[in-house]
Amino acid sequence: MDSESMMRVVLAGGGHAHLAVLADWARKPLPATRRWLVTSSRFTAYSGMVPGWLAGFYRAEDLTIDLEPLAERAGAELVLADVIGLDAEHRMLALSNGEALAFDLLSLATGGETDTSALAAAGQRLLPVRPMCGFIAQWQGRFAPDLPIQPQEVVVVGGGAAGVELAFAICAVQKGAAARYRVSLVTARERFLAGHDQRVRKLAKRALQERGIAVHFAQAVGAEGGLLLSNGRFLEADCIVAATGSRAPHWLAQSGLACSPEGFVAVGPDMRSLSHSAIFAAGDIIERADRRLERSGVHAVKAGPVLAANLRAALEEGAMRHYLPRRRTLYLLALGDGRAICSWGSFVGMGRWAWRLKDWIDRSFVRRYRDHNIAPE
């Protein structure tokens, strides 16, 4: 078949949600298609292991997946660029390398952006957790042990699972290090591990206290030299780790796609855009029309195989599958000391066993894609 008559299928974003799609294509080629993977960076970091890397349990290479060999096996051309615009009507993507890419079928999973708008005045002190590979590189630069001046005050902003785990990890990393810094956590009270059983919050609060991590229940605004809190306090900070929630990529606003009021792609249970049937989306970039779905790696990963099946079905005019999340989602919050809190609906536990379980799940996930051992889940 000549390339003119082939369907052009584009995956935008090489993160959690699209890994299963690439694996699906590698296992069973998509017939009569030309395929692209457009993504910012050749490497993708598995977020669940980032706090463990900070705490010294992993090397950076343990949690990164090289997309180049994966794309090659999937028969997809790898384009290292950012999507900066989408014309949903004319099926065209604008890329940061100045090129335009036309598609017949598109899947969007470029994740969310860290919302640092309230913190921007803190300038150079700000360290957003996304993009994750950028966070890893920047952290290594700012906290290199041979730097003459080491940060003294580190503040994590954001009381979700990521923010709390990072606070534990940052506190743990300095064990045995020459430099010592104070760690604090700033979060709105209602956002502190929201959605988890109150016993999870209690255990986490106690563990934070035991490590001397000050918790400030307040809103923070960036300022010269640190943060201004809504309770009137000024918090000095040499480094502000922004683990604030995701916001939708700005380029979606002009795309013509149906979006939620917050600007995320509105999709149905089959991950298909509500307005454009040739566009699918998954992961942190979506808002489900039929239910509230937390933006988490768990859902991005679990939706991946459904997305893969539905992209195939869209080409073959087959039946669509629905991504139905389980009633309870398993979260394992690392405490940075070889223990973790297990939060699974109303089941709550804490200990070394929870960390071992997390370590096993996370390492197995990365190994599957890194070593190209991509058997179906």
Ligand X SMILES: Cc1cc2nc3c(=O)[nH]c(=O)nc-3n(C[C@H](O)[C@H](O)[C@H](O)COP(=O)(O)OP(=O)(O)OC[C@H]3O[C@@H](n4cnc5c(N)ncnc54)[C@H](O)[C@@H]3O)c2cc1C
Residue from 21, 35, 37, 82 touching ligand X (CB under 6 A): that is 82
Q: Which stretch, 8-16, 56-64, 199-207, 317-325, contacts ligand X (CB under 6 A)?
A: 8-16
40 binds ligand X (CB under 6 A): yes
Beta-bridge partner residues of 223? 226
Q: Does 15 bind ligand X (CB under 6 A)?
A: yes
Binding segment for ligand X (CB under 6 A), chosen from 1-9, 46-54, 118-126, 368-376, is 46-54
State which amino acid sits at residue 58.
Answer: Y
- Give the residue nearest to ligand X (CB): 15
Our CB check for ligand X shows the closer of 38 and 122 to be 38
Report, in Å, the least distance between residue 65 CB and ligand X. Answer: 9
In angstroms, the CA 301 to CA 369 distance is 12
Using alpha carbons only, how large is the chain's radius of gyration in Å? Answer: 21
Question: Strand pairing of 126-128 and 239-242?
Answer: parallel
**Nearest CB to ligand X, comparing residues 78 and 225:** 78
CA atoms within 13 A on the CB side of 67: 27
CB 132, min distance to ligand X, A? 6
Separation of alpha carbons 171 and 213, rounded Å: 8
Nearest to 54 by CA among 236, 241, 220, 227: 241
User: Which one among 55, 125, 131, 265 touches ligand X, defined by CB under 6 A?
Assistant: 131
Contact status: 110 vs ligand X (CB under 6 A): yes
By C-beta, is 119 or 285 nearer to ligand X?
285
Residue from 37, 50, 156, 266 that binds ligand X (CB under 6 A)? 50
Nearer to ligand X, 41 or 219 (CB): 41
Q: Give the integer Cα–Cα distance in Å for 112 and 108.
A: 11
Query: Which of 162, 179, 182 lies closest to 171 in space, CA to CA?
Result: 182
Q: Under the criterion CB under 6 A, does residue 48 sit at the interface with ligand X? A: yes
Between residues 162 and 239, which has the closer beta carbon with respect to ligand X?
162
Q: Pick from 39, 116, 184, 343: which binds ligand X (CB under 6 A)?
A: 39
Binding to ligand X by CB under 6 A, coded x per residue (else -) over 288-307, reads: -------xxxx-x-------
Distances (CA, A) of 371 to 22, 23, 307: 14, 12, 22
> What are the structure tokens assigned to 108, written together?
């969007």
> Residue 47 or residue 273: which is nearer to ligand X going by CB?
47
- Best CA proximity match to 168, nearest among 331, 341, 353: 341
Taking Cα atoms as reference points, which of 81, 72, 86, 84 lies closest to residue 39? 81
- Chain residues 154-193 in contact with ligand X, contact rule CB under 6 A: 161-162, 166
Angle at which helix 161-173 crosses helix 198-210, to 10 degrees, equals: 20
DSSP state of 273: B
111 binds ligand X (CB under 6 A): yes
Chain residues that interact with ligand X, rule: CB under 6 A: 12-17, 38-41, 44, 47-48, 50, 82-83, 109-111, 129-132, 161-162, 166, 249, 283-285, 295-298, 300
